[in-house]
Amino acid sequence: MSLAAIARGAYDSRLRAYADEVASYRGAVIIGFGQEMNEPRYSWGDKKTSPAVFVRAWQRIVNVFRWQHVDNVIWIWTIGKSSATASPLRDWWPGVRYVTWVGIDGYHGLPGRARLSAFVGTIASVRRLTLDPVPLFGDSLAGP
């Protein structure tokens, strides 16, 4: 399944079926897609796909759910904590109409580093895009 195929609608029937299942659930559902796309570690990420294709695929998925009148989804756009290898977040941003929350994954593996301080720069970058809630994930929040 390629992002370009998702963006052009090749998987709309699968997405509609999934959207219908989500709509039948009586509670909120958090859906994330293509986590850490601003980093090069995944096939949908930086240097392996273009930000424009990623954004079009993200928007297509959200739009299919909207076309199915699914209103119980929280869309979480989860980025990798800014690092030397991360590309600019604004390039990957689907837009405020397509994101409910922004998650940040942060892994540094350094014992004793202050937890929240590992995310401060990335949170500042996110705030230039949106004021959405920002859940934090990763070992940057773990013990010493």
Question: What's the 3-state SS for the chain?
Answer: CCHHHHHCCCCHHHHHHHHHHHHHCCCCEEEECCCCCCCCCCCCCCCCCCHHHHHHHHHHHHHHHHHCCCCCEEEEEEEECCCCCCCCHHHHCCCHHHCCEEEEECCCCCCCCCCHHHCHHHHHHHHCCCCCCCCEECHHHCCC
pLDDT tens profile 87-104: 788 999 999 999 999 988
Q: How many CA atoms lie within 13 A of 13 on its CB side?
A: 1
What is the reported pLDDT for 45?
A: 87
pLDDT averaged over the chain? Answer: 85
The answer, yes or no, to whether residue 107 has pLDDT greater than 70, is: no
A 10 A CB-CB count for 129 gives 18
What is the reported pLDDT for 7?
A: 97
One-letter identity of residue 18: Y
| CATH domain 3-141 topology | TIM Barrel (3.20.20)
What is the reported pLDDT for 101?
A: 92
Give me the percent of the chain exceeding a pLDDT of 90.
Answer: 51
Confidence grade of residue 110 (pLDDT, cut at 50, 70, 90) = low
CA 54 from chain center: how many Å?
10
- Of 27 and 79, the structure prediction assigns the larger pLDDT to 27
- Of 117 and 90, the structure prediction assigns the larger pLDDT to 90
What is the reported pLDDT for 129?
A: 86
- Of 62 and 125, the structure prediction assigns the larger pLDDT to 62
